[in-house]
Structure 1
């Protein structure tokens, strides 16, 4: 697909324009309104694909839980049925659409790797993640940063204190959630490890506050997010932090999302996932 179309969709999904403006510009790039309509299913997420690990998988148990310390905050908790009484715990932080079927699937995948996995719904205090993605993005835009940090800190405390947790907690986030991981690392000293997929970077001067080991994944074609890499890396290096950075050639923003045909990059996603699992096992095991 024309990279200009992917970039246009990225601008739209991150609040750069209205849906009407996006469709007009898409039609101009595609050559006609009909051609634009044909492209939309490829650009948009297809949640029928979000069943890599179905809820009925015999290896896992799932439930919705209330998170103490934050009003009406809920999460999708998935744990392996085998693997011991004390498990390393991981918060899975969603993109800017909320806790959608894809992120729930990622949470289940994390559980099959031996983690106590919590897909945190940052929109639950506002009534929960809606099925309408445009509405979800609108709700994400209404979240206040202090609340986002408070929700993450509440989730860390919840997982750290569970009797089936080994007391070590990590976080992995995607897009908006990647930025949330970076900011949680700045503000939560009890976070042991953070993995941010194509997430916005915190202020460079905040890097010394980070206690967690970090793994940062970026798509080489994601110019918007990648502009912040040099300053962040320099700050982490200067502060003597434990971190790893990977940039995947030929990969776009959201390259891990296998429900999005236009941006999913299987080679990059598989490599990043294997690195993520290994990293979390090293720092949380």
Structure 2
């Protein structure tokens, strides 16, 4: 009986590992097979150097630009793949690595031994540094010759919260798109928002969804645009989970519907 249980456990671990590696291979292959121009850039940010991944669309005219803020795992292949997908739709996408220049030992996400280490580091970042990195990302895109001067921001999870918060710091954003992130805690901060904010939330993500009403009330108080959708049955991080063919039906459906909505908003 004990051997049978051990065998079942090992089989379960093997399946999880295989599915994870399959998803990673899919992302790597997507990036490697992309025909769009990818490049890593270094952007000066005070006494720090911000590393960022940039993807250019194959278009004949100047393009709208988008800052892509990663999850609390740091700048992963999935985030870079998402940037490439945005470029496929005609946008210049820049994904800054918020763990850039973190310490002498860790200068970027890939330097951290595990995703847990990266996550712990993310939550030790000062909000002023995050704002500095986003301001310098914004300025880089604003002055990019191939860009049309419009800069939107989109973020996921921790990055979604940063996208909402950055809207309170930068009145010149064209849009702020928030994927399963929370809004600013202080109602007065919403007074500084000029850009429309669009929210995307999974129905099975009450930790985040419990904060939506307060954000809605604050946005209404200051007559700001806050348009959001809640996707029934989807969990937290459904954009990443739904990008996996082995993901749940609800997450895949939410991912596809959110993607279509995102592109419609950016194309306005």
Q: TM-score range by the shorter chain?
A: 0.7 to 0.9
In the alignment, which of 234, 259, 262 is matched to residue 273 of structure 1? Answer: 259
In the alignment, which of 66, 74, 88 is matched to residue 64 of structure 2? Answer: 88
What is the deviation of 1:176?
A: 0.8
Does 1:109 find its partner at 2:79?
Answer: no
2:148 is matched with 166
TM-score, normalised by the number of residues in structure 2: 0.85
TM-score, normalised by the number of residues in structure 1: 0.81
Identify which of structures 1 and 2 has the higher relative contact order when contacts are C-alpha pairs closer than 8 Å and 6+ apart.
1
Residues of 2 paired with 1:129 and 1:48: CA distance? 19
What is the deviation of 1:33?
A: 6.1
Residues of 2 paired with 1:106 and 1:75: CA distance? 14
What is the deviation of 1:53?
A: 3.8
- Asked if the contact 1:186–1:207 (Cα under 8 Å) also holds between the matched residues in 2, the reply is yes
The alignment's C-alpha RMSD in Å is 2.3
1:24 is matched with none
Does 1:129 find its partner at 2:96?
Answer: no
In the alignment, which of 113, 126, 146 is matched to residue 144 of structure 1? Answer: 126
Query: Which shows bigger deviation, 254-263 or 228-237?
Result: 254-263
1:213 is matched with 196
What is the deviation of 1:132?
A: 2.3
1:1-285 aligned at under 5 Å gives the runs: 37=13, 40-41=16-17, 46-51=23-28, 53-58=30-35, 60-70=36-46, 71-84=48-61, 86-126=62-102, 127-130=107-110, 132-203=114-185, 204-257=187-240, 258-259=243-244, 261=246, 265-282=251-268
Can you give the 5+ residue segments of structure 1 that lack an aligned partner in the other structure? 1-31
Residues of 1 paired with 2:90 and 2:232: CA distance? 30
Residues of 1 paired with 2:223 and 2:118: CA distance? 38
Residues of 1 paired with 2:190 and 2:15: CA distance? 41
Residues of 2 paired with 1:180 and 1:73: CA distance? 16
Residues of 1 paired with 2:19 and 2:153: CA distance? 27
Q: CA 1:206–1:232 in structure 2 vs 1: closer, same or farther (change >3 Å)? A: same
